[in-house]
Amino acid sequence: MNFGELKQTIEKLELTKGEYTIFGSGTLLALGIVEIIEDIDIVVTINEYNRLLLYHQILGNGINIEIGSIKIEIFKDWSGMDVYEIINKAIYIDNIAFAALNHVLEFKYILKRPKDVEHIIKINKYINSKNEKR
């Protein structure tokens, strides 16, 4: 999905501002580091998680939702990282909360799957290009 599709999907979820953040490749998409992503990972507070449970079922480690062909995974925790810090330090693009790039990079270094290594390279290139423009 592209950024427009991500934005439309997030708007349909009617998430509570300050109670969620898009994580992982969603941040990379919003910043233009990648052009397309396969799914959306969302980290939410326990209050938002409980609210979403009223409308959706838990499958696996979190709430899994499909809107059309778009897969969304919603988590109340994130690999031992402080969810509230991630949410509080989110960046907003088009009124949607995205995890700060340093949090995404930290997570990518923890997992180091092949796609994470590819993303680490792209993130570092993005950071370096921003630093060169200063």
Note the pLDDT tens digit of each residue in 48-61: 999 999 988 777 77
Question: Which two tokens mark 15?
Answer: 């998430």
The length of the chain, given as a count of residues: 134
Distance of CA 63 to the CA centre of its chain: 14
- Cβ atoms of residues 9 and 72 within 8 Å: yes
Instruction: Answer whether CATH 3.30.460.40 is correct for domain 3-123.
Output: yes
What residue spans define the domains of the chain? 3-123
What's the mean pLDDT when you consider all of the chain?
93
- pTM (predicted TM-score): 0.92
pLDDT at 89: 97
| CA neighbor of 28 nearest in space, from 20, 40, 16 | 40
